[in-house]
Copies of this chain bind each other. A is one copy, B any other.
């Protein structure tokens, strides 16, 4: 019995009359090449691929998502994501859809004094979405920084508690020429200090003092990131959350600002 003789349950008619906003596959990993302004890097993406399903259709074609992922090497950029998403929707015979790719993104950074280079990793999610015939490109970044507590510094005779913090930014990209690396730098500059993979002693002295000179509450960081993104070219709205993994507590301090786009 070959495929054409088999009943195709998914393609049958559905009588419940309920459209489905998103249906597809989730938590599938795939090797991926990411291009940021001509520079490419190899990484591994966790993918979530979905389409809208009209009320009268029983099911979508799950295997086509996987087939699409496996047609030649997966190469994506902010610039090419809209096309990829539209091809996916066409392949699925759908009218709307979303393609999400979450992956570690690496930036080679030089230590601030010694200049020694090392990779720093950031969690990036690229989101291609087509709704009402219009493509939207979204981006989610998780950017680790140092935060140093202004209150602790102010009230203590010496020292100040500090810790790793995560700045999470979700935004819609209006300009496909946007540089991911530049955006990450603009955000991580709003911590008490950025992080590096490799620090020699002169670097450690520098950033210890740098953070001490830039104390910030979680409220300060979320506001400073909002300030930095407010006029940032190529963004359309944003949500920012900052989580401080407090070094003096077993819980986090957390702050959120939403700015809807147009």
Q: For the complex, is A84 an interface residue (Cβ under 8 Å from B)?
A: no
Complex Cα spacing A90 to B131, Å: 42
In the complex, residue of chain B having the shortest beta-carbon distance to the beta carbon of A7:
B154
Q: Which residues on the B side are within 8 Å of A50 (C-beta)?
A: 254, 256
Q: Quick one: given A58-B217, A70-B118, are A209 and B253 in contact (CB under 8 Å)?
A: no
Q: For the complex, is A59 an interface residue (Cβ under 8 Å from B)?
A: yes
On chain A, the number of residues with a Cβ less than 8 Å from chain B's Cβ atoms is: 108
Main secondary structure of the interface of A (DSSP, over half): mixed
Complex Cα spacing A258 to B19, Å: 10
Q: For the complex, is A184 an interface residue (Cβ under 8 Å from B)?
A: no
Q: Which residues on the B side are within 8 Å of A212 (C-beta)?
A: 156, 158-159
The 0/1 profile, CB within 8 Å of B marked 1, for residues 232-256 of chain A is 0000000000010111111111111
In the complex, residue of chain B having the shortest beta-carbon distance to the beta carbon of A32:
B42
Q: For the complex, is A77 an interface residue (Cβ under 8 Å from B)?
A: no
- Residues in chain A within 8 A of chain B (CB atoms): 1-3, 6-10, 14, 16, 18-31, 41-44, 48, 50, 53, 58-60, 62-63, 66-67, 69-70, 103-104, 106, 114, 116-121, 144, 146, 148-152, 154-164, 193, 195-202, 204-205, 207-209, 211-212, 217-220, 222-224, 226-227, 243, 245-258
